[in-house]
Amino acid sequence: MGFPGTWMTESERAVYRVIPKCACSSIGQILYYTDHGHYFDGDIHDAKDGIHKWAFEASQPKIEQRVQDDTFTFTCVRNPWGRVLSSFFDKIAGIQRSGNRYRGNQMTPLMRKYGVDIEGDFDQIKSFRRFLLFARDTIRFRKPMDPDIHWSAVSGHASTLVRGGGKYDIIISTEDFKTGMTEVLKRFEQTHPVDLGKVPRFNESEGHGPKRAHPIEDYFDDLSIHLMHEIYRRDFNLFNYDKHPYSGPPVKEIDLDFVHQKLGK
């Protein structure tokens, strides 16, 4: 199966498993900077050189070799409550950089079918809860479409590297990003050291959609909490996030041995 979603510095000193909606733009730009001394001009997801990506055929044998050689490897996870909300506001309620809705015209009839209203000053809480039902159906039943990478479980993304024979040296969280990336940058040699205090924002979804108008817990009633537990049970259990709506980091340290054991199955 290889290592889909995996990036590596051009210097081959660090391997990173990309997980959508988990600070991947910032991490990719930081890794790019460590080799080149400047950030990629544009969305790092569009970079065709200067960084290895599994999507590039020429990069695949290099990434595979480095993973087998136990090159420093890491990923970044995110609180399921905040991540699915971010997916809704960015990918469903927002307008993309192209000026169009995400996935063009495909999503609009699906949202109408589920009663998701995203026009004008819409009811954010009502529409989000209906979107969550849609997200559950895509993940559990693959209907009315396959699950999208932006709201499919973090554990599913992270598992591909482990099932391919790799392992993580560290897993950081977006909620404690600076602390986590400080530890990451200590673990491999950088041609151009990064000052995390001076890293600009690289949130490509910023400004795409309406701002969240309510505290995170207001979006989840009893039914939506149940749906979250159904959809993201492995994420809560593996990465130690609180099973009640909140925006904080893991409530205890992530156990890498436990993660590798569960993701390898």
pLDDT tens digits, one per residue of 128-157: 999 999 999 999 999 999 999 999 999 999
Q: Are 103 and 173 within one domain? A: no
Q: Are 219 and 101 within one domain? A: yes
The total number of structural domains that make up the chain = 2
Which residue ranges of the chain lie beneath pLDDT 70?
203-208
SS3 state of residue 119:
coil
Strand partners, 73: 15
Residues with Cβ within 8 Å of residue 191, at least 6 apart in sequence? 11, 34, 35, 36, 37
Q: Show the domain range for 130.
A: 81-150+208-232
Shortest CA distance to 107 belongs to which of 235, 209, 222? 209
Q: Are 52 and 34 within one domain? A: yes
Shortest CA distance to 3 belongs to which of 159, 118, 224? 159
Q: Are 171 and 219 within one domain? A: no
Note whether residue 237 is domain-resident.
no
Q: Are 164 and 45 within one domain? A: yes
Residue 250: CB atoms within 10 A of its CB come to: 19
Cis check for the bond before 144: say yes or no (omega within 30 of 0): yes
Note whether residue 242 is domain-resident.
no
Q: What is the pLDDT of residue 206?
A: 53
Q: What is the pLDDT of residue 174?
A: 97
